[in-house]
Structure 1
Amino acid sequence: MSVRGPVRAERVVTSGTFTLDGETSEADNNVWVVGDDEEVLVVDAAHDAEAIHRAVAGRRVTAVVCTHAHDDHIAAAPALSLLAGAPVLLHPADHELWLRTHPSRKPDGELSDGLVLPVAGIELRVLHTPGHTWGSCSLYAPFLDAVFTGDTLFHGGPGATGRPCSDRATVEASVRTRLLTLPGVTVVHTGHGPDTTIAAERPNVPAA
């Protein structure tokens, strides 16, 4: 019987640009490869499909999951899907945003609140956490004591708003009701920058 190695979350940092509403800036993104030595799930295929595919290192990819559809988080999703033979999954509320980046290629499947995504013998549960975008989702992995939040929650508090597809009160409510209710030891794997924990972020979110 082969030894598959521990289930884990591996960070791959890719770099490129983020463009929205006519403004472009440089961005370093966290791409998360979650699984074991045989199969993985990719969270947010940002910028560089080849770099992500190298990190996958021949393992079977069960899905390419998009926490939201800002272009820096999905730019490499179709190419990675082709390289890995894996479906791209996105919440339908972000389809309009997706089409701004990939007008001729739709996602392969939909994320929904409560959906369970199995990989390497564990489960990731989809939490719909709108506010940064209307379709923003987080992925909670109890086995790993971890949650993958995209741009909904960072080290220091909720993600940025102020764009037409976002709303400050909504993202704060999502963080309070869907994320801060998780165990305090839960590690928050973010879309940009360093990790944090649920306990560390509770003082950084305004009360209702």
Structure 2
Amino acid sequence: MSGDLRLDKVVTAGTFSLDGGVWEVDNNVWIVGDDDSCVVIDAAHDAEPILQAIGDRRVTAILLTHAHDDHIGAVRELREATGAPAYLHPEDRVLWEMTYPDETPDEDLVNGQQIPVAGSVLRVLHTPGHAPGACCFVSDDLGCVFTGDTLFQGGPGATGRSFSDEDTILDSIRTRLFALPGQTVVHTGHGDDTTIAAEKAALS
């Protein structure tokens, strides 16, 4: 069944707000699945283009790499439209509550957990640093990892704001992401793809 597995990308635009600042950002939303069902990785800004890309497929999970407001702004609408549960690492509840003080995620993410998707699985890696509950999702069948804001083309995600830490993100990247095969494609939360090998060479 995993031979039918495919990846769709949607780019949504909006703002990121934290520590009193507001920035205009474009976010990558990733949809992993087949013709029948899928999961959404990050529900950023605007649910409508995400729902258009989903089409008539059943959404089995909304997986959140972390809870900065630009990555979860469409969670409520997406949950209501699809009935899918939202998964978030519990250490990111402090950020989640800034956007949704009266709601909670449906499920906790745990390091090493396997999330079923269309006859395949996504493996959860807890990679704190950019945010305390930041997680990445590995698809061995697709040969890729979805890194949110933990690792970009050109290096680690930002750590200059509240609830982030540079030493922690570097340790997460070196011990968990760089353990993946070098040819693994890195699908990021913003901007272009890269590979584990390219970023490992730049950070070594």
TM class, shorter-chain normalised? over 0.9
- Taking the aligned partners of 1:80 and 1:94, their CA distance within structure 2 comes to 19
The aligned counterpart of 2:82 is 84
Q: Deviations over 1:81-110 (max 9, x none)?
A: 110110001000000100000111110110
Q: State the 1:6 CA deviation.
A: 2.3
- SS of 2:141's equivalent? helix
| Partner of residue 98 from structure 2, selected from 86, 97, 100 | 100
Matching residue's letter, 1:130: P
Which letter does structure 2 place at the counterpart of 1:167? Answer: D
- Deviation of residue 4 (structure 1)? 9.8
Alignment partners' CA distance in 1, 2:82 and 2:52: 10
Alignment match, 2:120: 122
Question: What's 2:49 paired with?
Answer: 51
Partner of 2:140: 142
For 1:198 and 1:75, the matched residues in 2 are separated by 29
Q: CA deviation at 1:203?
A: 1.9
SS at match of 1:53: helix
What is the deviation of 1:134?
0.5
User: Could you state the TM-score of these two structures normalised by the residue count of structure 1?
Assistant: 0.96
Secondary structure of 2:4's aligned partner: coil
TM-score by length of 2: 0.97
Provide closer, same or farther for how the CA distance between residues 133 and 22 of structure 1 changes in structure 2, counting only shifts above 3 A.
Answer: same
Report % sequence identity: 58
Q: CA deviation at 1:51?
A: 1.3
Shift >4 Å, 4+ stretches:
none
Residue 202 (str. 1) matches residue 196 (str. 2):
no
CA–CA distance in structure 1, aligned partners of residues 25 and 96 of structure 2 = 18
Give the secondary structure class of the aligned counterpart of 1:143: coil
Structure 1 match to 2:34: 36
Measured against aligned partners, the alpha-carbon deviations of 1:130-173 in whole angstroms (never above 9, x if no partner) come to 00000000001101000000000000111111112100010011
SS of alignment partner, residue 177 of structure 1: helix
Q: Is the 8 A contact 1:172 1:205 kept in 2?
A: no
Deviations along 1:95-128, one digit per CA (max 9) or x if unpaired, are: 0100000111110110010110001101100000
Q: Of the candidates 181, 188, 191, which is equivalent to residue 190 of structure 1?
A: 188
* Aligned partner (choices 66, 85, 103) of residue 64 of structure 2: 66
- What displacement does 1:204 show? 2.3
